[in-house]
Structure 1
Amino acid sequence: MTRFSILCLLGLFSTSMLFAQNGVTQCGTPTGQPRFPLNTYQELPDPATPSAEEWATVSTPKASWGSIDYRYAKRMIPTKGLQKVSVLQGWRGERVNAQAVVWTGEDIQNLNLSLTGFKSSKGAVLPADACTAAFMRYVMTDQLNLNGKGGCGNRPDHSLFDSLLVADMIDPDLKSMKLPARTSQPIWVQCWIPQSTTPGMYKGNLLVKDGEKLIASLPLEIKVSSRELPQPSEWAYHLDLWQNPFAVARYYQVPLWSQAHMDAMRPLMKMLADAGQKIITTSIMHKPWNGQTEDYFESMVTWLKRADGTWAFDYTVFDRWVEFMMGVGINKQINCYSMVPWKLSFQYFDQATNSLQFVTTAPGEPAYEEMWMAMLTSFAKHLKEKGWFDICTIAMDERPMEVMQKTLKVIRKADPDFKVSLAGNYHEQIEKDLYDYCIAIGQNFPEDVRIRRAAENKRTTYYTCCSEAHPNTFTFSDPAEAVWISFYSSKKHLDGYLRWAYNSWPLEPLLDSRFRSWAGGDTYLVYPGARSCLRFERLIEGIQAHEKIRILRQEFQEKGNEAGLRKIEKMLVPFNLGDMPEIPAATTVNRAYSILNSF
């Protein structure tokens, strides 16, 4: 047993009575409040101490526009990116973001926000619900591994890592708050420009008040282009963020697959659909990733071995989940994990013994082929009856090539028309067999392979995980790295991006983003209560940029605009993987935006 496991167990035993009433973070640290909060909650104490000398210069509450490229520390006076007016640019149909920050040397009893209307010089107005303002909340995080080269691996003692509060979550439910003296508070403002908007410059203000007393009226200008971005459901971008319904059931304390479970997931998954998600994540066997997350993936398919040795399969849960996800607008692809789980152990209900049993077998072995031939034959028949066969893939991740070759033989034997997806290393020998091929960010598809795959209407993407120090979407990552990810995909002419965890929450995700195995925030991009965050909104921002580049490339190719095409490619040249952090992601991204917004 690792030292970390022992520490966790000791912490949990020592707080066992408390856990029944109050929350506990991953290693037994009490939160001092009911576990799994949804509406109101208190952030964890800030490990940082404010400087009395610095804060002595602040006598009255102040507010300013800041920059979305910075996370403003709770106990520090903001200095970076401050500006009197925030000027945003966007296409019709695009979401644009701004960040403001309030700081005070005295208590603010009732800090609240509102937005005025936004009107152009020609009298056109944005709808009242087009723009929103919300307080950002602080969550505990840590840092990269001590060598600075990534965030993978067990973290046996978090005292070895810096622990700090960072602004990340966006909380639309928090309408007002008390802001203690010597504290800074960031504010997130987003405008989703309607596609019907008349082009022009729209002006309005963010009003920051203490009760009815005005602290600041911050001018916001939005320049709306005549160009139009389609609805997210129409984006070509192939976004694959893996969903974890099991985490939602645990956090909301509702029975798995009940109506209450579905109701809890609906706004969370609608957020994902609005980001352009294309794929439904399904688990067709028990623990495809060997329970690596706080809430492991159970099988959505019931495996039954009859007393006579034949197999039967029930797809009730699988169907319920897929139909639910399609109902929120995610309906382009179903990825089914995994014929090659991380632990080659397969659970089934054994009728002869009336008990759950496990069989340990591997691709290439007779038992493996016998079991999976029965499953895939039944599964193909079911998918065809539901009309889903053509959008379904048998999915694996990070599996060796030799294992994949043996697995592919079984799949083709069961039904040669099954689509297959893989997230892992690039293997020339199996590339042609893969419909959806996602490789690690440090690898490359040969140019002729990428072009051929596009002509064959196959999906070609890349992924990041805990391995990458930069770019990444940890809770301590440079916010612009989430945008950089999709500019890089555009540079490589890829279809999109995969990340393994949309909502695999740790024990108390609203309070503490740290996890036992990876850097803080690695396991999730959104929060309970269908709350977004800085990382997720900036990821969407990059996806929009990728889609805009795709639209412009297509237009310039059709019109023979060689100068426009060259300008786009030149814009993307600086997106080099090895440049960060020496060249901050924000520097590269903002230079690209100045060009992209000129078209």
Structure 2
Amino acid sequence: MISLLRVPLIKTLLVIALMFFVTGDIFAEQHLYGLHHSAFEPSGEDFKTSNKTTKAAVLTGNGLHGSVGSIDQRYAKGRLPELESPTNQWSGTAWRGERVYAQLVLFSKEPVRQLRMEPTAMVSKDGDSLGDGSLNANFVRYVLAAETLYPDILDPVERLNLAANTTRPVWVTMEVPRDAKPGHYSGKVAVKAAGNVRLDFTFKLEVLPLTLPAPKDWKFHLDLWQNPFAVARWHRVEPWSDEHFRLMEPYWRMLAEAGQKCLTVSLFHHPWGAQVYDGFEEMVTWTRKSDGTWEYDFSILDKYVAFAERVGLDDQINCYSMIPWTNSFRYIDAKSGDWKDVGAIAGNPAYEEIWGPFLKALEQHSKEKGWGGRLTIAIDERGEKQVLAATGILKKYAPSIQLSSASNHPPSDFTINDWSSTFGTSVDPNMVQERNSRGLKTTFYVCCNPTRPNTFTFSPPAESAWMGLYAAAQNRSGFLRWAYNSWNENPFYDTKYWPQVWAAGDCFMIYPGPRSSIRFERLREGIQDYEKIYILRKLAAKQLNDPRVKKAVKELDAALAVIDHQSVTNNTAASVQVKDVNVSILQLSRLVICPSSLVQSL
């Protein structure tokens, strides 16, 4: 018996010793060369790709190799990349105020140490510059999704090592200032490694004389739900402390720079139950006094809204929820000092007894804070009967507070100011048009379904960009996604959340740091396209006497007409549709005349 136990014990001790030896060497290298801890990745099988012929074989000699790749392609870590035409040249076009993307793919049969990038600014032949940081590059890091490795994280690590027979994607971002001079610009990204190894990549960008508004002024209604409690847990700080707000700031600014319109507020403990790793806690403390009356502490809510306004989220305040998933509400019993729970279902007398006084207090507090029409009571995926009951109580006690709802049943009237339908739900386009004419918002959302299109870690990247084009094609106001940053225990390792069955990446689109992702940046790309379409339609409407403009508008309409809830039937469908629409956008962009007086009126 003892001899049987000794063998595995010795093996375990040897493995632990080896781990200390290896990781000790790695950490020493980090300290010496500035390598970042995020260079470490989980191990796992690569995802499957097509068996099409690749020209990568011409680049498989010893040493570091690289090429410009496609932003629609995910490159497997343990295989040579599929490259139709290996090149070190990239070219594209952009509006002023636009963010444009490219992807490089690096690979080697031998180990490459101290891999790093050195981008230049983008300048024209006349010496005009798009500014420092106009050309930027991040290594793409791999994470697990469905027990398979996928590239997703855009990591700011300065250096990393490339193991033998592996691939490393690099995400390249080009930022065009809104005041940039139209013209042709170029810049370089030098990829260097130890031993005087160097690869140079050239980026040429034509800046057109059209300008996107600042993200806060975009028409697109973006609603990605934020989780401040995940930030507190990951960074090990007390929720709502000064340090917590300091750490949240770059995450929320990143979201504001994507045109986010809504702040996610939890009125009480766990409005969605325990569906995420970091449950949402109350931002308003409810206390029931000994005489049965209620007292409400809004101090956390006030601090949170003030913080959001400071970082650029100063539009809609969505308060969840009058109908929690558990139909249970938590409060402090003043007499005992204990937390207590009370159950109440919308439509029952007890429900109105709880919510009537609170809604009156919330409306009065909103007026005192000057929040005006920004505050909404938000309801998520509740039955129509309950929604109607809650709506009646809201309008009875707090008529100035708006209502927002995400559901798979269309609203029976126009009392819901912001309605988001489940992707694929049959929605009458006449109703959408009527809501638009009334100034109401009608968006759509994806969540744990459908399988495609979606923004999962394993979803084809173009599907994220496709969301903005779907909104444009279907006359929708924007897009909702239930989780911006509800991380699991270790999002750098696996993007799936257990014990729930949510698909990998369903709970979050960015990573701690904050680190952006391919998915998030492609979503932002699609939102920019939505804005372009809106502006181009306005400009073209005044120039339809030009037959070229009229023809280009028809071609844009035809490209968008293909896009509906059934058009993404395989892994390449979204990519094809996004490319087709962008060809039409570019063609119309080159034709329309954009006087400054017209831009100001859009």
Which bracket does the TM-score occupy, shorter chain normalised?
Answer: 0.7 to 0.9
Structure 1 residue 459, shift from structure 2 partner: 0.9
Q: Who is 1:272 aligned against?
A: 255
Query: Any idea what SS the aligned residue of 1:119 has?
Result: coil
Q: Who is 1:567 aligned against?
A: 555
Match of 1:324 among 297, 307, 330: 307
Q: 1:55 to 1:168 in 2, by over 3 A?
A: farther
Q: Who is 2:600 aligned against?
A: none
Structure 1 residue 362, shift from structure 2 partner: 0.5
Query: Any idea what SS the aligned residue of 1:412 has?
Result: helix
Pair 1:40 & 2:23 matched: no
Match of 1:396 among 379, 387, 406: 379
One-letter code aligned to 1:485:
M
Q: Who is 1:515 aligned against?
A: 497
Match of 1:436 among 402, 418, 429: 418
Structure of higher CA gyration radius:
2
One-letter code aligned to 1:587:
V
CA distance in 1, matches of 2:198, 2:537: 46
Q: Who is 1:135 aligned against?
A: 139
- 8 Å CA contact 2:433–2:475 kept in 1: the answer is no
Matches within 5 A, 1:170-319: 170-172=154-156, 174-211=157-194, 213-319=196-302
Structure 1 residue 113, shift from structure 2 partner: 0.6
Deviations 1:217-244 (A, max 9, x none): 1121111111111110111110000000
Q: Who is 1:382 aligned against?
A: 365
- 8 Å CA contact 2:346–2:389 kept in 1: the answer is yes
Pair 1:366 & 2:360 matched: no
- 8 Å CA contact 2:135–2:174 kept in 1: the answer is yes
Q: Given the two structures, how large is their TM-score scaled by the length of structure 1? A: 0.87
Pair 1:503 & 2:485 matched: yes
Q: Who is 2:32 aligned against?
A: none
CA distance in 1, matches of 2:261, 2:194: 44
CA distance in 2, matches of 1:49, 1:122: 46
One-letter code aligned to 2:45:
P
CA distance in 1, matches of 2:236, 2:255: 22
Pair 1:165 & 2:149 matched: yes
Q: Who is 2:510 aligned against?
A: 526
Query: Any idea what SS the aligned residue of 2:181 has?
Result: coil
- 8 Å CA contact 1:110–1:211 kept in 2: the answer is yes
Deviates more, 1:264-273 or 1:206-215: 206-215
Q: Who is 1:65 aligned against?
A: 68
Q: 1:212 to 1:581 in 2, by over 3 A?
A: farther
Deviations 1:243-302 (A, max 9, x none): 000100000000010011111110011000000001100011211101210001111000
One-letter code aligned to 1:202:
Y
Structure 1 residue 118, shift from structure 2 partner: 2.3
CA distance in 2, matches of 1:141, 1:209: 30
Deviations 1:509-560 (A, max 9, x none): 1221111221111100011001101000000000000000011112223444
Pair 1:122 & 2:126 matched: yes
Q: Who is 1:14 aligned against?
A: none
Query: Any idea what SS the aligned residue of 1:577 has?
Result: coil
Q: Given the two structures, how large is their TM-score scaled by the length of structure 2? A: 0.86
Identity %: 37
Q: Who is 1:449 aligned against?
A: 431
Higher RCO, 1 or 2 (CA under 8 Å, sep at least 6)?
1
Q: 1:49 to 1:345 in 2, by over 3 A?
A: closer
- 8 Å CA contact 1:205–1:220 kept in 2: the answer is yes
CA distance in 2, matches of 1:498, 1:581: 22
One-letter code aligned to 1:137:
R
- 8 Å CA contact 1:286–1:347 kept in 2: the answer is yes
Matches within 5 A, 1:68-147: 68-80=71-83, 82-84=85-87, 85-142=89-146
Match of 1:546 among 488, 505, 530: 530
Query: Any idea what SS the aligned residue of 2:577 has?
Result: helix
Structure 1 residue 211, shift from structure 2 partner: 3.1
Deviations 1:177-203 (A, max 9, x none): 111111111111101101121212212
Query: Any idea what SS the aligned residue of 1:135 has?
Result: strand
Deviations 1:378-415 (A, max 9, x none): 11000000011311111101111111111111111102
One-letter code aligned to 1:171:
D
Structure 1 residue 119, shift from structure 2 partner: 2.4
Query: Any idea what SS the aligned residue of 1:62 has?
Result: strand
CA distance in 1, matches of 2:456, 2:376: 29
- 8 Å CA contact 2:122–2:134 kept in 1: the answer is no
One-letter code aligned to 1:191:
M
- 8 Å CA contact 1:62–1:215 kept in 2: the answer is no
Query: Any idea what SS the aligned residue of 1:597 has?
Result: helix
Query: Any idea what SS the aligned residue of 2:45 has?
Result: coil
Pair 1:411 & 2:409 matched: no
Q: Who is 1:147 aligned against?
A: none
Q: Who is 2:576 aligned against?
A: 587
- 8 Å CA contact 1:380–1:389 kept in 2: the answer is no
CA distance in 1, matches of 2:162, 2:553: 50
Query: Any idea what SS the aligned residue of 1:347 has?
Result: strand
Query: Any idea what SS the aligned residue of 1:336 has?
Result: strand
Structure 1 residue 75, shift from structure 2 partner: 0.5
Structure 1 residue 445, shift from structure 2 partner: 3.4
- Cα RMSD for the two superposed structures: 2.1
Unaligned runs of 5+ in 1: 1-21, 23-31, 143-162
- 8 Å CA contact 2:221–2:260 kept in 1: the answer is yes
CA distance in 2, matches of 1:572, 1:354: 59
Deviations 1:95-143 (A, max 9, x none): 000000110111111111112332223332221221111111111111x
- 8 Å CA contact 1:67–1:81 kept in 2: the answer is no
CA distance in 1, matches of 2:36, 2:166: 23
Query: Which 4+ stretches in 1 moved above 6 angstroms?
Result: none
Query: Any idea what SS the aligned residue of 1:542 has?
Result: helix
One-letter code aligned to 1:120:
S
- 8 Å CA contact 1:486–1:497 kept in 2: the answer is yes
One-letter code aligned to 1:296:
G
Deviations 1:8-27 (A, max 9, x none): xxxxxxxxxxxxxx9xxxxx
* Higher helix fraction (1 or 2): 2
CA distance in 1, matches of 2:567, 2:417: 32
Query: Any idea what SS the aligned residue of 2:353 has?
Result: helix
CA distance in 1, matches of 2:453, 2:102: 22
Query: Any idea what SS the aligned residue of 1:587 has?
Result: helix
CA distance in 2, matches of 1:384, 1:301: 16
CA distance in 2, matches of 1:559, 1:460: 29
Structure 1 residue 365, shift from structure 2 partner: 1.1
CA distance in 2, matches of 1:331, 1:384: 16
